[in-house]
Chain A
């Protein structure tokens, strides 16, 4: 059974650009959540989608957005990148609308220069 797949694994972008990260959940999982991990702020919740609807959003500026497609695949977008957006972005999927079934992907390492 394939795990949560995040692409790309590594990304380098220039300040001011935008970026799109992709997450393919485990087959059958309908809930996808995104977390940002930085050395300074640790692991922070970005947003959560279930059946194409955003159910919950963390305390991040509007530059951070996401969506979920009918096949449960999810993308997150960051516009007007800032140096502080450099982080490991983790996606997690679960079968039900609960956090205790989370399986995390390996993440996308974004570096903004």
Chain B
């Protein structure tokens, strides 16, 4: 079984500041990890994913995340926030085998970017 905890349901940053969204996971098997972004009245857009290999993963729009097995974390960062980054962000986990097709999502973090 897998679970995801996103620390902070709301995060506010100033434009140009560092964005850090936290995600911790629990998984009984090696996990695959994802970050999705959702804009109002839209579906989910994949930002980045970790399956195997390099633990620092680069995604779209300047985002990156690092898989830290020892800390069971997969935090999302962006060096400089832009107004267009304001959205809701979801961390998700799936098993790397068996029920691999099912995603378990965190509760989401609403990112506000202040001018």
Q: How large is the interface on B (under 10, 10 to 19, 20 to 34, 35 or more residues)?
A: 20 to 34
Interface size class, chain A:
20 to 34
Main secondary structure of the interface of A (DSSP, over half): strand
Indicate if A21 sits at the interface (CB-CB under 8 A): no
Q: A42-B107, A42-B108 are in contact. Are A98 and B43 (CB under 8 A)?
A: no
Instruction: Confirm or deny: B114 has a beta carbon within 8 angstroms of a beta carbon on chain A.
Output: no
Task: Contact check, B42 vs A97: say whether CB atoms are below 8 A apart.
Answer: no
- Residues of the A chain whose Cβ atoms lie less than 8 Å from the Cβ of B103: 33, 35, 43, 45, 99, 102
Which of the residues B45, B51, B105, B107 comes within 8 Å of A100, measured between beta carbons? B51
Whether a CB of chain A sits under 8 angstroms from the CB of B34 is: yes
Give B107 Cβ to nearest chain A Cβ, in Å: 5
Instruction: Say if the beta carbon of B73 comes within 8 Å of chain A.
Output: no
* Contact, CB under 8 Å: B43 / A56: no
**B94 pairs with A99, CB closer than 8 A:** yes
B101 near A55 with CB under 8 A, answer yes
Give me the interface of B with A, judged by CB distance under 8 Å.
32, 34, 36, 41-46, 49, 51, 90, 92, 94, 99-108
**Interface of A with B (CB < 8 Å)?**
4, 6, 31, 33, 35, 42-45, 48, 50, 55-56, 58, 90, 92, 94, 97-100, 102-107, 109
